Amino acid sequence: MSLSVSTGIIMLIGLTAHLLRVVVRRAVTEPQAQRLLREVIAASELCGCCFELAIVADTFGVITYAVYLFLVSIYWSLAWGDANACPYLQVEEWWLGRTRLPTVLLRILAEVAGGWATWRYIRLLWRLELSPAHHDRWLEECSADLQVSPLQGALVEGVAVLLCRLVARSMDDLEPRFAVAIDSLCGTSLVIAGFNYSGGYYNPMLASAMKLGCRGHSVGEHVAVYWGAATVGAVASTYLYPVLRPTLTNRPLKRE
């Protein structure tokens, strides 16, 4: 019963986000405004699903959680379009000279706003206590998922983001038939690998929406681990991938 309720909530969040994207596409004609709204929607959808996935992990174990995360990751890749709900991807675009800094900052603010708003509606859903797994969850004091030192946590988040971005870049180059599934499998595997160390967030906005201010570490440590290290890992991939490209894709060295 509890799993079916969690499944229903995740599907409801996805359906609501889809309908909001349709409304934005039809009602908003200005491209920049449309993109910002898509980032807000994607960020809220991501965080809402991950709040519920945390209940799935606590109640049914990491394997069930991994299966659900893998499936929703595939859906997000197909449904979000050019939105990504991930601040360091915006930083990458600026670092590579593809997007102006003011635009990047606006998109990050839009993502943070979407993530920040998520707890408000998730709390309302949990207060309904539709399953035993939701009992009093909206009243619980949150605890940080960082189970190691901040330095170790930063290494986990930074290295995992670096690996994720290297895989994503190689998928973009190779364009294999199941690129989305391969990318999602890689991301899910790294999340599970980091689950008992840093929580395996690999997304600064998601980590802050779910755990900023929680008992277990300071705000400064949170920012360093989940924002600083992840962003460094992403930027490092822009330098490392051109060097590794011949090995990863069997194609000549490429400068971005």
Summarised one tens digit per residue, pLDDT across range 93-129 is 999 999 999 999 999 999 999 999 998 899 889 998 8
Q: Is 249 a residue whose pLDDT tops 80?
A: no
Distance from C-alpha of 83 to C-alpha of 20, rounded to nearest angstrom: 14
Residue 54: per-residue pLDDT: 94
What does the angle CA 23 – CA 27 – CA 32 come to, to the nearest 5 degrees?
100
Angle, helices 101-127 vs 31-60, to 10°: value is 40
Query: For 128-137, what is each residue's pLDDT tens digit?
Result: 888 888 888 8
Distance from C-alpha of 32 to C-alpha of 109, rounded to nearest angstrom: 14
Query: For 27-71, what is each residue's pLDDT tens digit?
Result: 999 999 999 999 999 999 999 999 999 999 999 999 999 999 999
Contacts of 91 (CB under 8 A, 6+ apart): 104, 108, 231, 234, 235
What is the pTM (predicted TM-score) of this model? 0.92
* Nearest residue to 92 (alpha-carbon basis) of 248, 251, 239, 243: 239
Please state, rounded to an integer, the average pLDDT across all residues of the chain.
93
Residue 253: per-residue pLDDT: 56
Query: For 171-209, what is each residue's pLDDT tens digit?
Result: 988 888 889 999 999 999 999 999 999 999 999 999 999
Q: Please tell me which residue, 213 or 236, carries the higher pLDDT value.
A: 236
Q: Is 3 a residue whose pLDDT tops 70?
A: yes
Q: Is 146 a residue whose pLDDT tops 60?
A: yes
